[in-house]
Structure 1
Amino acid sequence: MATPAKVSKPEGKNNHENADEQADKEQQEAIEQIDEVQNEIDRLNEQASEEILKVEQKYNKLRQPYFQKRSDLIGKIPNFWVTAFVNHPQVSALLNEEDEEALQFLTKVEVQEFEDIKSGYKINFVSIYFDSNGYFENDVISKEFHLNDTGEPSSKSTPIKWKNGKDLTKKSSTPSKGGRKRNLEEQESFFCWFTDHGDAGADELGEVIKDDIWPNPLQYYLASEIEEEGADDDLDEEGLEDEEEGEDEFGEDEEGEGEDDDGGEDEEGEEEG
């Protein structure tokens, strides 16, 4: 009985499978190497964050005397802070007439960063100092942001001791300056922000005060004056343009009259001839 011949596998198929295995192996090795490189990048990023934190802490201390000097000078300007708030496009949208009246007693705004600023949340965000006023009894009301025991951002604030009938956080139908009654659907008071602790990690008003207004409040205090100066400049430019247009028209008329005069003289000369 004849022995059956052995059937060999196609050589091309084996080569293809070997090539795929080799490609998979090289890809896996590349992924592992990329992971190692990424770990080194992450390590340097972490090191950079620590160095940046040290620099931030250093310069935060160096800035404090200047912040204090600025606050002392601002205290000499009546209604500085309420003017800065009213001139800020985002904050002004949160203010109603009664809020602005209450904020006229505001004499100082101060943002204090805690010594450990790495998380970015452990910040005494707003500390507002008021003279004695007709709205509440506190000398200071504040809102503070930090990380709680679970590592989540949270906030707390000073309870506002409102004087009788002056609680702006309670909507009422009291007449406004223009005699119009506030209805129950009107926007809530700016001071509701002090009792709002729903999402401390995304407190837009706090971020605006800390990162935008606090670094340079003077630019917002002067914003209305700058706008007025710009409007005056525009009016002056328009006036100059109108004058120039008038001069051009007047000049054209003079030239036309001169031509008529010359033409008249020529005609008279011809008649005499």
Structure 2
Amino acid sequence: MPKRERLAGEPAEAEGKQRKLDSSSSSSSSSSSSSSSSSGESVLQPYMGELEAIQEALQQLEEECAQQQMAVQREFDLAKKPLFEKRQQTLEKVPGFWFAALKNHPAFALIAAADAPLLQHLKALFLEDNLDAAGSYRIKFVFAEPARAFFSPLELTKEVRFGVSFPDDEEVVEATEINWVNKENNPVALARAARARANGAPGAPGGPPGAPGGAPEGGPQEERGGPQGGPQEEGGAPDSDEEGGPWSLFEWFSKEPWPENRPDVGEVIRREIWLSPVAYYLGEALSPDPSSEALDESDPESEN
């Protein structure tokens, strides 16, 4: 799925497909006999100018279509805003709603255990989607006052901007800097230490369980992470991000590059959790469709 809106990304996708076709054509030509290649080129040569002009015109229409579709999308996003605000007012009455909705998503199965006591205080989550024609977005986490015992500020924001011509190009233009009460014993530090220990780094800090900004009873849940004792790069420290392991959701609020082996937090929130938070809170988003189960049971081929 492209980073920005699917429809807005179609021109770039078409361009990519065209490049693949060109590459495939070039590869095929080199592997075939030179006489065959020359023959094909000579047949098309009289029409190449016309075909290229048609392709450019089609590409232009695709881009215009994407722009108009994005304009319509943004218009309806604006119309939905009062409903999202009303939904949030209701959800704030449910203790721990957003924490439950997030942790029920499989993409967040590896978040550090030390995140839990802090995310319990997450009282609101906001998404501003399609900020521009490229489909850029802004996500805000709002925490209740008790979270101040762990960190400040209580509002954490991250804004991601996409390129118009190249939808996979993205830039983090805003990321709230988190000021931890305990600089060494907080979910981010504990997650990094757990990954380091999992990859064999000696002397990685741990921290007392239950400390403010630190791990809950039992410490960081390292066993939920990646492989123990992973390989190290020669002449340096182990690359814990490459090896996987527990990670803190609070690490995402940064302008630092996000490791590719972790879920794209922003995309998961904006395309899945934000659209159906109640379903994720109840765990229904992970349950199979009863109608499809009934269909499978009635299908004799499914028994074979």
**Residues 190, 45 of structure 1: alpha-carbon distance in 2 compared, 3 angstrom cutoff:** same
Distance apart, 1:41 and its partner CA: 1.0
Contact residue 173 and residue 182 of structure 1 kept, 8 A = no
Residue 105 (structure 1) aligned with residue 124 (structure 2) = no
Correspondences of 1:121-270 after superposition (within 5 Å): 122-124=136-138, 126-132=139-145, 133=147, 134-147=149-162, 152-155=169-172, 156-164=174-182, 166-171=185-190, 172-174=205-207, 175=209, 179=218, 187-195=246-254, 197-198=256-257, 204-223=264-283
Query: What's the CA shift for 1:128?
Result: 0.5
Quote how far apart the aligned CAs of 1:162 are: 1.4
- Rate the CA distance shift 1:101–1:224 in 2: closer, same or farther, 3 A: farther
- The percent of aligned pairs where both chains have the same amino acid is 24
- What SS does the corresponding residue of 2:171 show, helix, strand or coil? strand
Tell me, what secondary structure is at the counterpart of 1:159? coil
Deviation at 1:25, TM superposition (A): 5.7
Moved more, 174-183 or 211-220: 174-183
Answer with 166-175 or 49-58: which moved more: 166-175
In the TM superposition, what is the alpha-carbon distance from 1:26 to its structure 2 partner? 4.9
8 Å contact kept, 1:154–1:197: no
Deviation of 1:170 (Å): 1.1
| Residue in structure 1 matched with residue 29 of structure 2 by the alignment | none
Q: CA deviation at 1:190?
A: 2.2
Q: What CA deviation, in whole Å up to 9, does each residue of 1:75-124 have, x standing for no partner?
A: 11111001011111112x232222011100000011112542x112x321
SS at match of 2:126: strand
Deviation at 1:178, TM superposition (A): 5.7
Q: State the structure with bigger RCO (CA 8 A, min sep 6), 1 or 2.
A: 2
- The aligned amino acid for 1:49 is A
> What is the CA-CA distance between 1:182 and the residue it aligns to?
6.7
TM-score by length of 2: 0.58
CA contact (8 A) 1:74 1:80 kept: yes
**What is the CA-CA distance between 1:69 and the residue it aligns to?**
0.7
Amino acid at match of 1:67: F
The code of the aligned residue for 1:123 comes to Y
Moved more, 132-141 or 189-198: 189-198
Q: CA deviation at 1:167?
A: 2.5
Matched to 1:168, the amino acid is P
Larger radius of gyration: 1
| SS class of match (1:169) | helix
CA–CA distance in structure 1, aligned partners of residues 252 and 246 of structure 2: 12
The 2-side partners of 1:200 and 1:182 are apart by 20
Tell me which residue corresponds to 1:6.
none
Given candidates 81, 89, 108, the residue that maps to 2:98 is: 81
Note closer, same or farther for the CA distance 1:83–1:64 as it changes in structure 2 (3 Å cut): same
SS at match of 2:125: strand
Stretches of structure 1 that go unaligned for 5 or more consecutive residues are 1-20, 231-273
* Letter of the 1:55 counterpart: V
Structure (1/2) with the larger helix percentage: 1
Listed as ranges, the gaps of 5+ residues in structure 2 are: 1-37, 191-204, 210-214, 223-227, 229-239, 291-304
Provide the C-alpha distance between the structure 1 equivalents of 2:40 and 2:217, rounded to a whole number of angstroms. 79
